[in-house]
Structure 1
């Protein structure tokens, strides 16, 4: 059952409250994800692509990135490469997803794009990770029936 690890991944976004730490990934994530077909796909395929066969998909990486940002807001635990590759992977899924799941994926990307802008411009800005968390819970609720 992949639903429980997916919930755990979303819940880990609140990890800063427990004092856990993380390390930036050494390799970009884009090469890890299977590319989706070029045509629109059903919600089951979309959710499988987002969460991955072993909860190693791009949405899980997005959760990890946001968790590390919350742990250390100077973004020293997050690389430009992993932000870019995760956004690209989410874009790949989003452009082939149904309209209902497309909107949910897009809402998850907003925070990652903000972090990428901060990381590349080195200009401080406020990032509301609550938006990401709510979008993640909405997406998890949408995908729950397919992740069991």
Structure 2
């Protein structure tokens, strides 16, 4: 059987890094992360749910942030494969997940707890660390790590 290699799609991976490592923001605690995530969620805070992910290097310096899901008033779909794909593409060491609750409640739902565990397991499988999952509201945040839920 002869294979025509010109009919097979080529897959390329690229990552553009235009910030020196020494100039990147360092996340030392959940409060640091909450400030970044609050800014990322400011346009949707009480309107609809969005999920954002911070990608960090070994020194907890922020490599980048990505919105991985936009949903409705009371939920959104999170595909951990997209998060892991981006994490591997960015060559990060760890990730932090966040989503907002338009209702203002900082209490995690069963779905929040389930996706956190699923992402934690996925990260472990590819050698990454899930540092935290924050629920962001207009009046504060809740950290899974601080609450012992990781």
Q: Which has the larger radius of gyration?
A: 2
- TM-score, normalised to structure 2, is 0.32
Question: Of Structure 1 and Structure 2, which has the larger fraction of its residues in helix?
Answer: 1
Q: What's the TM-score once normalised by structure 1's chain length?
A: 0.32
Between Structure 1 and Structure 2, the one with more strand by share is 2
Identify which of structures 1 and 2 has the higher relative contact order when contacts are C-alpha pairs closer than 8 Å and 6+ apart.
Answer: 1
